[in-house]
Amino acid sequence: MLAPSETAEEYLELGNILLSQNQPEKALICYRRTIDLNSSFCEAYYKLAEAASELQEWDEAIVNYQKAIQLQPDMSELYYKLGNVLQSSGRAVKAVAAYRASIDLNPNSFWCYYNLGSVLMKLERWQEAIVAYRTGAEINPDFSWFFYGIGEACRHLAKWSEAATAYQQAVELDPNYAGSFHNLGDVLFQLEKWSEAQTAYRRAIALDPELFWSHYNLA
């Protein structure tokens, strides 16, 4: 491959090719050179952050997403990607702020609501997580993980009936995930619906015979 001439655009293009070929280390070099040539090139910071994320170089990814946001503060995807990196690097509170900023710019991104709900769950902010999951479910009612998440949050709040309803919706949308059936069995057990709980546990075991707690609870 010929080396690019000294233009930011060509270094960016080469970086993109290398990144698509799963060569993030080499792509980083090209993106850095792009920025050397044009420090106002928003896409270069964005792509550099993507390459750094693939290498799990979280601090560099965060810094470059933030620089991209400074250059293009109305691009919701930048905040979303920043939120993902912050969550992956254990900065949950900052991830919440990034996801909320993304939602402010694009309130129709169901993935953003899902990831927001997930990080709120890590922070044990159960009620806020429920709100995020329910809002996302309004956008994409066919995504079973919203209802699974609602069930999990309601379970932590001992809202057994609401949890059962949510898990039931989850298993209707994805009848092949054993975890939803197992958790449905747990909340039905709390509601003293013994027969229905047994049915849920049996379905969980049929899907995953290694589920120890389903066997234990069924016994």
User: How many whole angstroms separate alpha carbon 69 and alpha carbon 77?
Assistant: 10
Confidence class of residue 1 from pLDDT cuts 50, 70 and 90?
very low
Residue 138 parent element (H or E): helix 126-139
Residue 193 and residue 167 in contact, taking contact as beta carbons nearer than 8 Å: no
Q: How many whole angstroms separate alpha carbon 89 and alpha carbon 2?
A: 36
Band of pLDDT at residue 205, cut at 50, 70 and 90: very high
Would you say residue 214 has pLDDT above 70? no
pLDDT tens digits for range 16-68: 999 999 999 999 999 999 999 999 999 999 999 999 999 999 999 999 999 99
| Greatest Cα pair distance in the chain | 72
Single-letter amino acid, residue 16 = N
Mean of pLDDT values over 86-92: 98
Instruction: Grade residue 217 by pLDDT with cuts at 50, 70 and 90.
Output: low
Buried b (16+ CB within 10 A) or exposed e, 93-110: ebbbebbebbbebeeebb
Gap between the Cα atoms of 210 and 214, Å rounded: 9
Q: Which domains, ranges and CATH numbers included, belong to the chain? A: 1-73 (1.25.40.10), 142-219 (1.25.40.10)
What's the average model confidence in pLDDT over 113-140?
A: 99
Rounded mean pLDDT of the chain? 94
Tokens 């092949």 belong to which residue? 176
* CB atoms closer than 10 angstroms to residue 34: 26
- Summarised one tens digit per residue, pLDDT across range 158-199 is 999 999 999 999 999 999 999 999 999 999 999 999 999 999
